[in-house]
Amino acid sequence: MFNSYFSFQGHTMNPHYEVLFDKVPIGPVVAPNRFYQVPHASGMTEANPRVRAAFRGLKAEGGWGVVSTGAVSIHPSSDDSPLPYARLWDDNDIHAHALSCDAIHQHGALAAIELWHGGASVMNRSSRIAPYSPSGVGWAATHVGFMGQLRPKIMDATDIQDVLRWQGQAAIRAKKAGFDIIYVYAGMGYLPYQFLISEYNRRDDAYGGSVANRVRFVHELIEATRDAVGDSCAVALRISLEELRAKSSNHFESEAHEVVSLLSEAPDLWDVKMDSSPTDCSASRFRPEGSHESIIDFVKQITDKPVVGVGRFTSPDTMTSQINRGILDLIGGARAGIADPFLPNKIKAGREDEIRECIGCNICISSWHDGVPVRCTQNATAGEEWRKNWHPEKFNRTSSEDRLLIIGAGPAGLEAALIAAKQGFQVTLSDQSKNMGGRLNFETALPGLSTWRRVIDYRLYALKQMNNVDLYSNSELSRDDILELGHERVVIATGAKWTKSLYSSLEIPVGELNQPNVYTPDDIAAGIKINGPVLVYDFDNYYLGGVLAEKLAAQGLSVSYATPAGHASAWTIMTNEQPFVHQNLENAGIPVITQVLLQSHENDTIGLANIFTEKLQQLAAKSVLIVGLRRPNDSLYQTLISNPNATLAAGIKSVDRIGDCLAPGAIVHAIYSGHDYARNLVTTRSNLYLRDIPIAVNPPGAVI
């Protein structure tokens, strides 16, 4: 049976936040409050309708007044394969989406659907239809996952009418599924956006040239949607304004002002955003909370219709300010609602200090690029609500009296301690360091990463409120100490250590460069001073190599950055960070050398070889910092399991590893590892997770 950890009793909402719970009319429907989960990708398609319904429904349970889908294709000519995208092409899709609508409505929220045609920005790899575009201008992406060789066709009058018809047909299906708000999506480089932007739209007919002509297609999409659904559903326009705001207009402050003026009364709701994923969903390293305001702040001055926008809002004070200053009518959330689906309810209950705040790491976005259901560093239950029956605020209560000793208070240890304690275990959490938090104590002090400290703060705050948890820092435990303490279950969460491994043309770590003046991130964390010039050699490919290069440059050292990959911090393309990583390195005066192997370091000279051609180059450097391979710190675990008779005699039933001690990874992996371990103390699954299946009321090929 579930036990609700947060009862929401005994607290009172801060009256300053009451405005967030006002009802907001949106055309013919009414949002029960101002919390609006805007459309965002979830990686959950019609292949996972139950996973999707549980994920969206939980937002409504948590207090979000409107809960939206991600992009939903209206026709096979909008095919984003192999990336995960939803469809509304036939009646089978209606049934799949109806599950989400029912889950959302069950908790009194409105359900919104983002109908979508990708135009020239999709490659139609599965449908093999030539992509549609206003003028044959294709998206020349530099990310391999978005590249394709089929160029778009120029839409003729018949094509335009087809898209309008498909939009109307999809809107009718959406209404049948139970959606209350139907979107026209004119943003992020997709087809309606392409008509708005002059670089894409070079037409000389009624749909091109002047802004008034370029806006015509969007206006007709809105009309087609309204004609299809009548007066029972609201029609929303989601529009990107970043590029339009930067363009001058003869009679308006910008083309953005002109577009909004021309369409001001057409939709029932304006959903305003940026133009590209890196700027719209920027990581906290590069953009603060509420960073969209300078672009979208004018919209409410032009239209009387309600406006929703985003900005990685986690602070109710920031949200209230946006409402009171007339920037927004509804507080949009995507990442904040993934990190804590119960954010609205916690504010309403006066428990805002218990919000699991988004850290802006963008692991959620990387999940979509990976083609899997959404993952979250802060919230391990995201995407697992149906598959594993994990609820972020409810926990099965243990009947066991086993006491749990967790050694290591990094991300995995903190999460395991918190979830085990919420299930009723008596938990002891021990760490050898003065401050709990593990690797995050060092990393969150690095340039741009301070927001990530929320991973520590949220968990430590919660643990300190609980009377079944004992916290011990400055406590290094040996095997004999553990055997004497009398706990029935022991968990080792002692993290991992960086090595001096090199990188091979086989694309694997090989050997080690064990020489003087060769360092790892652990040396920097320990405060060891290194001499410049410094080469940072990075084949970890995530954030740390670039951030450490910035840190060393800020200390006045001459720093170069090298990697075997094609970009600095190459994997950050998945988290929307890569453009800004390169900008930061350039601004710090750090040259970037790509596609090279580190071969030698002798006499203050680095030997680098091109990974493809083996061409050699030399670089002057006194020191080398290698950010590459990590290995588990598992010696304590190995010592304990080496003598099972001794652990059994001490009353220890199990010895386990979690987090980096089990398998080094990103923080999200450590949090998940700790969470999964703790949940399984109470609920042992017979399988890894429930496997979802599509809904097929009508067989393939049926005329419907």
The catalytic residue positions are: 190
CA angle at 669 for the pair 663 and 671, rounded to the nearest 5°: 115
In whole angstroms, give the CA distance from residue 362 to residue 6.
27
Tell me the CA distances in angstroms from 642 to 405, 635, 636, 647, 698, one per residue in order: 19, 10, 10, 9, 58
How far is 113 from 565, CA to CA, in rounded Å?
Answer: 39
State the helix-helix crossing angle for 157-177 and 216-229, rounded to 10 degrees: 40
Q: How many CB atoms lie within 10 A of CB 700?
A: 6
In degrees, rounded to 5, the angle at the alpha carbon of residue 344 between the alpha carbons of residues 285 and 84 is 60
Give the torsion through C-alpha atoms of 396, 399, 403, 409, to 10 deg. Answer: 0
Phi, psi of 420 (to 5 degrees): -65, -40
Q: In whole angstroms, give the CA distance from residue 264 to residue 374.
A: 34
Q: How far apart are CA 101 and CA 142, in angstroms?
A: 37
DSSP at 228: H
User: Checking DSSP bridges between strand 394-396 and strand 2-4, what pairing results, if any?
Assistant: antiparallel
Alpha carbons 216 and 507: distance in angstroms, whole number = 51
Q: What is the DSSP string of 429-492?
A: EE-SSSSSSTHHHHHTTSTT-GGGGHHHHHHHHHHHT-TTEEEE-S----HHHHHHH--SEEEE
Give the integer Cα–Cα distance in Å for 190 and 173. Answer: 21
**Cα gap 85→384, rounded to integer Å:** 19
- Tokens of residue 19, six digits: 């405005």
DSSP character at residue 692: P
Q: Are 305 and 264 in contact (CB under 8 A)?
A: yes
